[in-house]
Amino acid sequence: MNDLPLDIVNEELYEHYRFTASEGQEPLRVDKFLMNFIENATRNKIQQAIKAGNVLVNEVVVKANYKMKPNDEVKVVLAHPPHENLLVAEDIPLAIVYEDDDLIVVNKPAGMVVHPGHGNYSGTLVNGLIHHIENLPKNNNERPGLVHRIDKDTSGLLVVAKTEFAMANLAKQFFDRTTDRLYYALVWGNIEEEEGTIQGNIGRSLKNRLQMDVFPEGDFGKHAVTHFKVIERFSYVTLVQCKLETGRTHQIRAHFKHIGHPLFNDERYGGDRILKGTTYTKYKQFVDNCFKILPRQALHAKTLGFTHPITKKHLSFDSEIPEDMVLCLEKWRNYTINSKQ
């Protein structure tokens, strides 16, 4: 019951092992090389890690048949911290939207990390949750109650399980794609279609493991589908509503970058610079001011719907767009009106 589907496990990677091949290293497959260095590791386990993109040689993801060379540096990175960290309860204010004996729905502010991890071992949503709720159920990765997550700089709704049964039930709903999730995103450019669908496998970038890439040929990554609908147009940016059919890490951010419309002020995916518009100095100042008002990617998890694990009733929740995003949209709205006069 504790096992969450792989879809739902957070994909942030933590370094577990690092080895450097010697000066006299003979050509040797990386899977065999690692078996010589990692105690009690089976070849199948190593090959599964390689297949998942968790083995890097000189910072590049490799396949099992890669031949190690002298001075090659190989790293194994997995989805959980290498050493268990004691979770500390912290009295952190939570924006609770709904709560009963089985689950809690919270509206996470931008800037809050969902769970402890590399570089963020306090001040997270989980730290606040374990202060608010005793004996939260733990999943495989020691992240109490979590069945899904949103990025640190994304705001919006999250459901957290309070019992083992609720966690297993909700996890299966996310895995079976029976939940309803709508996001609002401000993206660069004027999207031609009023609505559409973005499809393309999403996997960790082969060049930069902090990013996710889209692999349209399906040769790498996991199946991912994002449906979108235009809400409002602002000359050089567009407000869209996104419905997730799948829930991959950075799915909306990676998909919109793939179609040439990165999220506004998304530093990791290139949206933190002017991508559309004029060359006028006043326009540059205007965009810089928007960046200051909204110092993060313009993404908000607005609605969330699922079936209650016990009552079997469908629950649906909606959240207001946060102030920083509202102010940014207002500036773009005014700019568009003024530019037409």
Active site residues: 151
Give the Å distances, CA to CA, from 261 to 50, 54, 164, 169, 241: 31, 29, 40, 36, 14
Contact 231, 240 (CB under 8 A): yes
Q: Which residues contact 308 (CB under 8 A, 6 or more apart)?
A: 102, 103, 314, 315
CA–CA distance from 279 to each of 144, 287, 307 (Å)? 49, 11, 50
Number of residues assigned to the chain: 341
How many Å apart are CA 15 and CA 320, to the nearest integer?
38
Residues 6+ away with beta carbon under 8 Å from 270: 257, 262
H helix count then E strand count, the chain: 7, 17
Instruction: Please give the Cα distance from 16 to 31 (Å, whole number).
Output: 16
Contacting residues for 324 by C-beta, under 8 A, at least 6 apart: 110, 293, 294, 295, 296
What are the two backbone dihedrals, phi and then psi, of residue 86, each rounded to the nearest 5 degrees?
Answer: -65, 125
